[in-house]
């Protein structure tokens, strides 16, 4: 039998969608349906219920065997994501918050962009809307056109739902930091880049991030509180690995000056 071509290999690639949720009975069903509607033929969906008491688990159970439900004591989103990806079987991981949505072709198009490389976070553009459907703009989100991933991430975040992670990058970085109260995805992505991981951008809106009124400004304030801690740790990691170039040192200093 001739060896499989790259396209067929990517079609056969199992991708695990991990949905952490807490008190999300009102929204998690939509998120699950968007994961199950992927055009990529090999997807597993894992929901990690982080100690909900509002009937979230009952909503998840309605999907039957198509969705794996893990029920955990309440420890926060980072712990739920870590529990999910460590139980997952896929070679790629897609994290999906319970109130966000995936475009049907998201995983297929990002896998196509990934090609044979398993050393890059593949991320897309994200449609950001309020729960009333109004468009929301976050000025710091920028397209990636190449260059140093560390320097790019210090200027522009990669949103959790927009990213598709090769499993090996998560294993190398150790997953999400469960001690951080917020900005865990910024910290994870920056650590991956510091350890040599790359970025690949798919310039299409392939996911929807839904924001409640006032939540963006509140989230930004929380992130800025953690920003110096995360940047200093990145600097230390780069120094330890001999990867702290003059250009990166300058970018880190500029990032700290903005905090």
Other Cβ atoms within 10 Å of 60 Cβ, number: 27
- 93-123 pLDDT tens trace: 999 999 999 999 999 999 999 988 899 999 9
Nearest Cα neighbor of 203 from 136, 134, 126 is: 126
What pLDDT, on the 0 to 100 scale, is given for residue 171? 98
Rounded CA-CA distance 194/203 in Å is 24
- Averaged over 128-145, what is the pLDDT? 77
- Per-residue exposure over 223-244, b if at least 16 CB sit within 10 Å of its own CB, e if not: beebbeebbeebbebbeeeeeb
What residues form DSSP beta bridges with 135? 129
Q: Which domain holds residue 235?
A: 6-258
| Any domain includes 206 | yes
What pLDDT, on the 0 to 100 scale, is given for residue 2? 45
CB 76 within 8 A of CB 90: no
| Any domain includes 1 | no
Rounded CA-CA distance 49/61 in Å is 11
- 168-221 pLDDT tens trace: 999 999 999 999 988 999 999 999 999 999 999 999 999 999 886 544 444 556
| Any domain includes 235 | yes
DSSP tag of 135: B
The count of structural domains within the chain is 1
Nearest Cα neighbor of 200 from 125, 98, 90 is: 125
| Any domain includes 61 | yes
- Per-residue exposure over 12-27, b if at least 16 CB sit within 10 Å of its own CB, e if not: ebebbbbbbbbbbbeb
Rounded CA-CA distance 41/163 in Å is 19
| Any domain includes 69 | yes
- 1-17 pLDDT tens trace: 445 555 566 678 999 99
On average, the pLDDT of the chain sits at 91
- What is the percent of the chain where pLDDT is above 90? 78
What pLDDT, on the 0 to 100 scale, is given for residue 116? 82
CATH of the domain at 165: 3.90.550.10
Coil vs helix vs strand at 125: strand
Residues 6+ apart with CB under 8 A from 170: 85, 93, 188
């Amino acid at each position: 039998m001739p060896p499989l071509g790259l396209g067929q290999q990517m079609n056969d690639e199992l991708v695990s969608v991990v949905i952490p949720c807490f008190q999300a009975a009102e929204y998690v069903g939509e998120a699950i349906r968007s994961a199950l509607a992927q055009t990529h033929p090999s997807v597993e969906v894992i929901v990690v219920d982080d100690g909900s008491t509002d009937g979230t688990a009952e909503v998840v159970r309605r999907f039957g065997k198509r969705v794996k439900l893990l029920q955990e004591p309440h420890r926060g989103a980072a712990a739920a994501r870590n529990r999910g990806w460590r139980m997952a079987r896929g070679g790629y991981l897609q994290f999906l918050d319970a109130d966000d949505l995936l475009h049907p072709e998201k995983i297929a198009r990002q896998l196509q962009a990934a090609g044979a490389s398993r050393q890059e976070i593949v991320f897309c553009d994200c449609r950001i809307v309020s729960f009333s459907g109004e468009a929301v703009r976050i000025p710091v989100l920028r397209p990636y056109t190449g260059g140093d991933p560390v320097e790019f991430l210090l200027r522009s975040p990669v949103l959790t739902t927009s990213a598709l992670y090769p499993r090996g990058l998560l294993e190398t970085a150790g997953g999400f930091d469960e001690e951080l109260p917020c900005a865990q995805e910024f910290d994870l992505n920056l650590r991956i880049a510091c350890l040599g991981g790359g970025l690949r951008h798919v310039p299409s809106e392939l996911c929807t991030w839904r924001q409640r009124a006032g939540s963006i400004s509140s989230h930004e304030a929380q992130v800025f509180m953690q920003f110096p801690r995360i940047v200093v740790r990145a600097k230390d990691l780069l120094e330890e690995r001999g990867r702290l170039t003059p250009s990166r040192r300058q970018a880190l200093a500029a990032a700290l000056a903005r905090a």
